[in-house]
Amino acid sequence: MNRRYPLVVALTATLISPAHAQVADKRSATIEEVIVTARKVEESLQDTPVSVAAFSSADLEQLGASEAKDVADFTPNLRMQKQSGSQDNYAMAIRGVSSGETALTIDPTVGVYMDGVYLARSTGLAFDIVDLKRIEVLRGPQGTLFGRNTIGGALNIITEKPNGEPGFKLALGAGDQGYNRVMASADSPDFGPLAFKFSYMRKEAERELESLYNGKSLGDNSGQYYRLAARWKVSDTVALDYIFDGSRRESNANTQQLSHVRPIYADPNGQFYGGRYYEQAAASASAERLEVLPLTNTDPDESNSDIDSHAVTLEWDVSEDLLVKSISNVREWNSAARGTDFGTFPVESTGDVVDLRSGSPSLVPAGTLVPIFSALRDNYHRQITQEFQFTGKVLDERLSYTAGVYLFQEEATEDNPQQFVLPTSFIANALTGLTLPPLAAAASATWLGAPFAYEMENASQAVYGQFTYNVFTDFDVTLGLRYTRDQKETTLQNNLDGGDTVRVTSDDEWSNFSPTFSLDYRFSDQLSSYLRIANGYRSGGYNVRAQTTSAFTTPFDPEEITSYEIGIKSDLFDRRLRLNVSLFQMDYTDRQIAQFEAGSGGASSVIVNAGESVTRGLEVESVFIPTPGLRLIANYGFLDVEYKEFIAGPVNPQTGFSSGANRDISDEVTENLYAPEHSGAVAVEYRMAPWSFGQLTLRVDATYVDAISFHPQLFLYDQTEAYSLLNARATLADIPMGSGNLKLALWGKNLSNEEYREFGIDFGLLGFAVNNYGVLRRAGIDLVYEFGK
């Protein structure tokens, strides 16, 4: 908070050295080369025939980035949003290929990789990363080289390794809304063949939200992060890397706002289902952002998320033309929430709400606070991955190849008992047939409970190879092949088929062959083009949110994408202008879609193979240096989604009720599901000529995101309208101090104080919709001291 600023300013004044050594002018008149590993080998970004965005450590610093989500607004056609009911889970989409389901049985559409290790679930991925070196965003199917289920694309996160030279870095940050951050990292000298790097970070932040009932803050979060990296140079040709990552997060997940209650449940001017309870809920709901919310659980540690990951990478340079690599990982995630609440309201009169949670009806006493929906949650996930990789060149280095074997195992459990409220007349008449019961004015509400729990064990094996042949000097042909086999076993415990709690187990397996083909032609050192055709695959699975035994034991099938892409990469005007453009079309078949379903366990969405669609799009990324020190950045993404087929039961988005048998409703669903039609970002960055006491860099950037929906049919009340964000940063770097340098930065995010929705959920027949809003204007100061680098 602001009261921390004087301490930081005083510390700055104390630490700055009075020395007046001349600071080197680091301003460049040309665009620096960016090295990426998008094809599992180090190569220039401009030589990589893939649509990839790359953020270096310097870029990430200017963005104020510490987690993967921070690059999303600056990457065309990438969306990453934190979901309602958690500060630890991402909903992700690349080119509109999306998944927002938090159930651990549902595979993501975007593969996230950290130092070569696939992170199998988007739940728990919203953790801060220390020692970030680079983030790469690969758009389009990447299944040939990158693990599992990269049907939309991949995020490739690379961290710093020990360099064998003594070094130390200390970063302090403070800001309003309770923001503070401490990060320290230390590099050891070489101990013979061994070198180490240890890093630690603690981060806290508050939200501008408070509880209606006790005035305490909502949405507070804090976390501690540990990382140990060790490198053992076994010999001149063999190196062994070990990385331990630990994360401990605590947060209050109650930041969601009740935005809408369906009039058919609570209309004081006519007949309705829900009685006085729903009238109160409707009176508290608002489509506009609120700062005081009717939520009771304000515990700052309401939710926790703990991660422990151990990764071992062995590299063996067999010869100049062959590198053998082994990547092994064990990762565990434990998470719990003690009371996620979507809105709580008092019972005005005894009898307004009937309690059926125990199975025996009882009247809830007047004055009792009853949540419209609440849940407890305990999660456990463990994955083991092993990859053997062979990279080399043959035929006088004209044929380059990367081949390997990938093995994956995971197990998970979730215990997620839920409580929710429905109109009594609805419970009595509607659950079996999903028809509208007779309206009853001032009807009572029913308080229900459901024992939602499941467990699963999955395994996957794959063999892959990608081969690039240099036909002649400036022309390459690439062929990629991958065969994948997935096995899944899932057990569900819930109130299925309208009866008592049952426990059901089902298992199945799937296999897939995914090829990739590309042509790459270099017109000159400054201009190249590529044509790429790629297949993507996401395995089938089980609906643990199903309300019937049949719906659970009948798995949904895999989905597939065929992507066609043409791209141009250029460095023009003596490498002062970088302009990369890609045009693409993606044909989606057996698309896995969330579809409405209701039963004795409430209302939810299940995954079905409902759709076929075609997505056409454009991505433009540019950097221009008109004069030394001045950098202009502009990015743009465009998506046009057209559903060819969408087989589902029609759902009225106003009432939430189903209105007929399954049919093709492709002309009735939203086409911007996790897919804004337009998105973009611009930035102006100016590095001034150096002074004797440092070098000043000024940056202003703005981002734009078009409207987004989060459900194909229930889209009226959880849609995010178009919004823009404005950010700024001023950095004074290279301040001489002792044997190192000091860096001071002032920054502001969302300077226009935009009130924008970040994520939404419409609960259909439960009668309400909730939305999360983004963080309001936040400003702060960062202080970094570093030596030995």
C-alpha–C-alpha distance, residues 448 and 446, integer Å: 6
pLDDT confidence of residue 186: 96
Q: Is residue 362 part of a domain?
A: no
pLDDT confidence of residue 5: 39
C-alpha–C-alpha distance, residues 220 and 442, integer Å: 38
pLDDT confidence of residue 156: 93
pLDDT confidence of residue 162: 94
383 vs 132 pLDDT, higher one: 383
DSSP state for residue 11 in the 8-state scheme: H
Tell me the per-residue pLDDT of 349-369, one tens digit each, with 9 for 90 and over: 998 999 988 878 899 999 999
Q: By residue range, what is the domain housing residue 137?
A: 2-356+372-787
Rounded to whole angstroms, the maximal C-alpha distance in the chain is 86
pLDDT confidence of residue 18: 38
Tell me the per-residue pLDDT of 161-180, one tens digit each, with 9 for 90 and over: 998 999 999 999 999 989 99
* Integer CA distances (angstroms), 485 to 120, 146, 540, 588, in order: 16, 15, 11, 21
pLDDT band at 373 (very low <50, low <70, confident <90, very high): very high
Q: Is residue 364 part of a domain?
A: no
pTM of the complete model = 0.91
C-alpha–C-alpha distance, residues 51 and 103, integer Å: 30
Nearest alpha-carbon partner for 75 in 576, 633, 517: 633
pLDDT confidence of residue 644: 93
Do the Cβ atoms of 255 and 341 come closer than 8 Å?
no
Tell me which range, 315-319, 374-378, 667-671, is most confidently predicted by mean pLDDT: 315-319
C-alpha–C-alpha distance, residues 75 and 633, integer Å: 12
User: Would the pLDDT of 125 be above 90?
Assistant: no
Structure tokens at 468: 């690039």
Do the Cβ atoms of 665 and 596 come closer than 8 Å?
no
Residues with Cβ < 8 Å from 410, sequence gap 6 or more?
Answer: 120, 381, 382, 383, 384, 456, 457, 458, 459
Q: Is residue 540 part of a domain?
A: yes
User: Would the pLDDT of 767 be above 90?
Assistant: no
DSSP state for residue 45 in the 8-state scheme: G
pLDDT confidence of residue 218: 94
**Tokens 């389009």 appear where?**
140
Q: Which amino acid, 85?
A: G
Structure tokens at 573: 């005007």
Query: 758: number of CA atoms within 13 Å, CB side?
Result: 25
Query: Among 7-21, 255-269, 543-557, which is the least confidently predicted range?
Result: 7-21
pLDDT band at 431 (very low <50, low <70, confident <90, very high): very low
User: Would the pLDDT of 438 be above 70?
Assistant: no
C-alpha–C-alpha distance, residues 93 and 101, integer Å: 12
Describe the chain by its helix, strand, coil percentages, rounded to 5. 5, 55, 35
User: Would the pLDDT of 97 be above 60?
Assistant: yes
Do the Cβ atoms of 115 and 123 come closer than 8 Å?
no
Mean pLDDT of the chain: 89
Q: Is residue 363 part of a domain?
A: no
Residues with Cβ < 8 Å from 729, sequence gap 6 or more?
Answer: 62, 64, 697, 698, 699, 745, 746, 747, 748
Nearest alpha-carbon partner for 341 in 408, 388, 294: 294
User: Would the pLDDT of 16 be above 50?
Assistant: no
β-strand partners of 159: 132
User: Would the pLDDT of 8 be above 60?
Assistant: no
Nearest alpha-carbon partner for 353 in 379, 372, 334: 372
Nearest alpha-carbon partner for 759 in 149, 266, 102: 102
User: Would the pLDDT of 441 be above 60?
Assistant: no
User: Would the pLDDT of 127 be above 80?
Assistant: no
Residue 152 is part of a domain; what is its CATH number?
2.40.170.20
DSSP state for residue 87 in the 8-state scheme: S
Do the Cβ atoms of 786 and 185 come closer than 8 Å?
no
pLDDT confidence of residue 54: 94
User: Would the pLDDT of 425 be above 80?
Assistant: no
pLDDT confidence of residue 25: 66
pLDDT band at 26 (very low <50, low <70, confident <90, very high): low
Q: How many helices (H) and strands (E) does the chain have?
A: 5, 45
User: Would the pLDDT of 383 be above 70?
Assistant: yes
Helices marked H in 239-368: 275-284
Structure tokens at 781: 């100061």
Nearest alpha-carbon partner for 308 in 328, 337, 333, 336: 333
Task: Say if strands 292-293 and 209-211 run parallel, antiparallel, or are unpaired.
Answer: parallel
Domain count, the chain: 1
C-alpha 205, offset from chain centre = 19
User: Would the pLDDT of 324 be above 70?
Assistant: yes
User: Would the pLDDT of 20 be above 50?
Assistant: no
Query: How much of the chain, in percent, has pLDDT values that exceed 90?
Result: 68
pLDDT confidence of residue 21: 43
Q: Is residue 603 part of a domain?
A: yes
- 3-state SS assignment for residue 674: coil
- 3-state SS assignment for residue 60: helix
Q: What is the mean pLDDT of residues 572-593?
A: 95
User: Would the pLDDT of 467 be above 90?
Assistant: yes
Tell me the per-residue pLDDT of 167-216, one tens digit each, with 9 for 90 and over: 999 999 999 989 999 999 999 999 999 999 999 999 999 998 999 999 99
pLDDT band at 269 (very low <50, low <70, confident <90, very high): low
Do the Cβ atoms of 729 and 744 come closer than 8 Å?
no
DSSP state for residue 105 in the 8-state scheme: T
DSSP state for residue 762 in the 8-state scheme: E
Radius of gyration of the chain (CA): 27
pLDDT confidence of residue 427: 67
Nearest alpha-carbon partner for 406 in 353, 482, 349: 482
pLDDT band at 602 (very low <50, low <70, confident <90, very high): low
